[in-house]
Structure 1
């Protein structure tokens, strides 16, 4: 559930469901998808969440792929753990784990954008937790287990002993009655697993001496500064943004020479800049809490991409081979322009006449609307090719050239799909040599580009700091372009299927004023020729739809001006040819043009809603 679907579509009604119903619906649904290899690939395709290898670090001999984790408060029943591991997190917190289960779900205040948690946090109980953890042993992410503070010292030790085989580290919350001897017993139960001491932010100042003693005696291996809570009746509220107070405590610990152990910040992070500020001032890891629910599932990805800005290599090399992808796009652009010129003049080419054993003039004498109908198919194909060529060239120049992995992946997926689509041309019995020659010319550029650009492996950077108005509005724009891309792909599949089966829809026959049987009786090769055009257009539309879809899914980053320009310039040829052509030839049936009007509305709305976010300067 990416941000572009979470905020515009689902959040408003899911948060209105009673108690934890909305939460469990989301978590169970995501985990169901993530439980299969195909589902995992689908999640990755939608979100492209994997963090850059540059963000990897060692934390107490534990390898984390990035410094952002998820609080156990968000998934107390562990129904979404498998999915969260694929949403850009470097580690997952489980708990608080208690001996017995306790069900008292949190509630969401949609008016104030806050989550109210019970005073005693919800927990599965140790038996169910162990059963869940056994199923998650191949999770691939470090697991931090928080032990419930509602137990005695001996009970906490028993919990740690029972959970020891299933986690990487333990978090235990500080108590007034704790002494060095008490924590030593818990440390002994944890054996070689690191023990982290959690302290409320408001108690850090008064606990400095105690913390220093614990660290000196090597009883604890790290400190967790915990977000503060406010009591509201029988519930507690964790403010979504507490970065100033947390930062103050973090700096205080570091200034008091508590530098030999790592420090984790738990909660209080609402926007990417919050996490960056804490990490820049000495925090080792961040655990997202209520702010994750308010900001949306894309928050860890946005933080990860912002952190990469500090590691950007100003002297990074240009990826060799991007020029071949650019030439690949240029060839498609030129091919589209030539196809447009032919479709606006002769329409029927000499090899078409040879296939039909009819001249253009003879076909005009039979029914001039057949020529106009073929011009309509070929003009829309030409416009689609021109748009596709522009997008390929832009992806090559601004994406692959700079080593952006997703741009290369988009070109490869769309390009391979386009090459496979050549098979559709012969689905109804006609394959012209010009199309074959065109693909023979394209293939070397694509293959060389594919082989030479393997170094394009960089994760995109982002300068997005805040949950600004332009960011929130851009999610609607992104949704428009994602829908547009999906619509193009589906439309291309439908058109291709029609092209290799029935060839015509009812409105086509009404415009031509002839039945397929009559056309076939006039010339048995006429329908295969028209089918060849339809299937070719369908194949091109699928490829361009994939390009639009992948740009919308993976390319929306604040300040990515070239993405917005690519959408703008790339869309003009396709929509101009696809809509104006119908008015030129008089094929203006509303129901036939309705999909094109719908697509145009998505295109214009997407441009308008995403402009401020994509085009603002750093």
Structure 2
């Protein structure tokens, strides 16, 4: 469930359910998808969330692919970690883990307006034994850190013994490290200092006597007073700790509150920790990160990494990717841009291919709107244009209808190819290259769908021979480069409306892809639908009897159009899934210009020849509606320029 489906469809439905039920439904659904053949690939494909090497860093000296981690509060029972690992996270926290189960049947309260979740018990979990059983299930390759916690109300010595048991029981080759709950804001400085001394001594003994080598980070409660933390850090021996984790829960009489308001509490704690952190110690902030700007603010305060908890619930599963994109931009924005590749290296060939498609589409439209048939069509049929008209007054109209829609689709493909080459492929954008690659892979074979009927179209074959080498040249030697323009940082109304616009285009791309497959399949099988024959006032048998080569010629048009539409639609779908970004004006204009020729061609020819059967045109009406709504909803997001105000510190 990417943001365009989560914000628009799933979140409103899930927020109507009790929070525990909504969480279980969501996690179990993701778990099922991830266990299907190709399920994890599907999750990656929907979000295009593969992290960039530029984001590689270290948490407590453990290499991680991105600085964004998943808090243990999101999936405390590790139901869907395999799916969640595909969202662009760099590491995962598991827990809290206590020696024995900590249960609570009270509901989790969801205050959507304040973006606040209230848990009846912060330490609720299934206990060590059940967790170890779950750890044997198929998982992921991301580093995992266990949050080890003593049982509530344990004495000091009991807490240390429990933590020791947890560390020994959970240390495996797959364990990256531990986050230790050792502080209690209600106990006072002296008691917390003693607790740190006891836990530190225990860790040193483990390292000396049991060969324990895993990094251990101190988890600082979110409601720990910053001044008290300063005094504690000034007096304690901190050398045993590999880093610090600022918690995400504020304790109240009603339970533990986790939400956007935690950011204000976390920032001063991060500053205190940064002032005392040793060179090898990392700081992870785990509260109030609900949008990319929050993550940037935490890192500006001194955090090295962030944990996402409630932010994932309110912003959606695309939040890790959006934060990663913001971090990449912050990292490279002051670096000089690399030189633009030569036109002839790769991207220029794709532009030429696109221009060739546009020119070919215009010529095809002109022919289909005038003579309709070409000389080699007449030779194949052994009939002249006038004889075809005498055979059936609507036959040329019907053939024109297929050929003009094909021409409009060719122009649409050409515009998309040209624009994606100029603004995406030239800059090394992986999503643009992948979109073009997929379109070409499915598009070029469709040139020859008609061969099964025994008709060879020399013009189409010549076009394929000329254009295919350009496609191959465009795909060569084109390494990925990071996106260098500012990205979205806020979950504001403009962004939320854009999610509806993106949904419209994703549905449009998926629908047209299905339509293209259906049309191509009909073209190589039945050729006609009932409305076609009703329009011409004839039957398939009558056409075959009149000229046995007539149906193969029409099938060639229909299969060619279906294949072209499928190629166009899968590219539109890929662009809609991966390319929508704030301020990308060129892409909004590309969507407008790329869709217009296909829709104008399809609708104008139907009305021009009076083929206006409502059922036949209903898919086209639906597609036009999605197209117009999508452009309207995306306009403020993609055409605006909010960054001067968006990028101010919160």
Partner residue in 1 for 2:95:
95
**What is the CA–CA distance in structure 1 between the aligned matches of 2:205 and 2:592, rounded to whole Å?**
63
| Residue of 440, 444, 452 corresponding to 2:465 | 440
Matches within 5 A, 1:238-317: 238-256=258-276, 261-312=281-332, 313-317=335-339
Verify the 8 A CA contact 1:198 1:224 in the aligned structure 2.
Answer: yes
- Alpha-carbon separation, structure 2, partners of 1:259 and 1:615: 44
Aligned to 1:431: 456
SS of the equivalent of 1:20 reads: helix
The answer on whether the counterparts of 1:68 and 1:285 sit within 8 Å (CA) in structure 2 is: yes
Looking at structure 2, the residues matched to 255 and 67 of structure 1 have their Cα atoms a distance apart, in angstroms, of 20
Change (3 A) 1:450 1:279: same
Aligned counterparts of 1:332 and 1:415: Cα–Cα separation in 2: 12
- Residue 196 of structure 1: aligned partner: 217
Is 1:180 the counterpart of 2:181? The answer is no
Q: Is the 8 A contact 2:401 2:606 kept in 1?
A: yes
- Give matches, 1:100-499, under 5 Å: 100-104=100-104, 106-110=108-112, 112-136=114-138, 139-150=140-151, 151=154, 152-165=159-172, 166-175=174-183, 176=187, 177=191, 178-189=195-206, 191-203=212-224, 204-216=226-238, 218-231=239-252, 233=254, 235-256=255-276, 261-312=281-332, 313-319=335-341, 320-453=345-478, 455-458=479-482, 462-499=486-523
Instruction: Answer whether contact 1:51 1:459 (CA < 8 A) is retained.
Output: no
The change in CA–CA distance for 1:112 and 1:141 in structure 2 (over 3 A counts) is: same
Q: Which runs of 5+ in 2 are unaligned?
A: 644-650
Quote the residue 1:591 is aligned against.
615
* Structure 2 CA distance for aligned equivalents of residues 268 and 209 of structure 1: 25
Greater mean alpha carbon deviation, residues 478-487 or residues 196-205? 196-205
Cα deviation 1:174-222 (Å, max 9, x = unaligned): 3344041333214544721111111123324202233344454x22121
Partners of 2:280 and 2:27 in 1: how far apart?
A: 38
Which stretch shifts more, 182-191 or 554-563?
A: 182-191
**Which residue of structure 2 lines up, in the alignment, with residue 82 of structure 1?**
82
Kept in 2, the 8 Å contact 1:485–1:549? The answer is yes
TM-score by length of 2: 0.91
- 1:541–1:457 Cα change, 3 Å: same
Offset of 1:157 from its aligned partner? 0.8
Alignment partner of 1:95: what SS?
strand
Aligned match of 1:54 = 54
Contact 1:44 / 1:86 at 8 angstroms: preserved in 2? yes
Within 2, Cα distance between the matches of 1:103 and 1:541?
55
**What's the CA shift for 1:173?**
1.4
- Report the Cα offset of residue 37 of structure 1: 5.3
Partner-residue secondary structure (3-state), 1:85? helix
Secondary structure, counterpart of 2:140 in structure 1: coil
SS of 2:110 mapped into structure 1: strand
The secondary structure found in structure 2 opposite 1:414 is helix
Q: Cα deviation per residue 1:141-197 (whole Å; 9 max; x = unaligned)?
A: 010100123252101210111001141111111334404133321454472111111
Q: How do 1:556-567 residues align onto structure 2 when only pairs under 5 Å count? A: 556-567=580-591
Stretch moving more, 579-588 or 103-112: 103-112
Counterparts of 2:375 and 2:444, CA distance in 1: 25
* Alpha-carbon distance, 1:228 to partner: 4.5
Secondary structure of 1:201 counterpart: coil
Match of 2:35 in 1: 35
Q: 1:61 to 1:237 in 2, by over 3 A?
A: closer
Structure 1 distance, partners of 2:251, 2:165, is: 31
Counterparts of 2:122 and 2:441 in 1: how far apart (Å)?
Answer: 55
CA distance in 2, matches of 1:120, 1:411: 48
What's 2:632 paired with?
608
| 1:249 partner SS | helix
* Segment drifting more, 333-342 vs 260-269: 260-269
- Once the two structures are TM-superposed, the CA of residue 240 in structure 1 deviates from its matched residue by 1.8
Decide whether the 8 Å contact of 1:4 with 1:479 is kept in 2: yes
Looking at structure 2, the residues matched to 197 and 116 of structure 1 have their Cα atoms a distance apart, in angstroms, of: 24
* Residue 75 of structure 1: how far off its partner (Å): 0.3
Q: Secondary structure at the match of 1:402?
A: coil
Can you list the C-alpha shifts for 1:292-316, whole angstroms capped at 9, x where unaligned? 1111111111110011112234322
Q: Residue 70 of structure 1: CA displacement? A: 0.8
Structure 1: state its 5+ residue gaps.
none
Aligned partners of 1:422, 1:10: CA distance in 2, in Å? 40
Q: Calculate the TM-score normalised by the size of structure 1.
A: 0.96
**Cα displacement (A) at 1:524:** 0.5
Hey, what's the Cα distance between the residues in 2 that align with 1:444 and 1:283?
Answer: 50
Q: Verify the 8 A CA contact 1:400 1:456 in the aligned structure 2.
A: no
Aligned to 1:45: 45
Q: Secondary structure at the match of 2:628?
A: helix
Tell me the number of residue pairs that the alignment of Structure 1 and Structure 2 aligns.
614
- The Cα offsets for residues 57-112 of structure 1, whole Å up to 9 and x where unpaired, read as 12333111110001111101111111111101000000001122334363433454
Query: In 2 relative to 1, CA 378–339 (structure 1 residues): closer, same or farther, beyond 3 Å?
Result: same
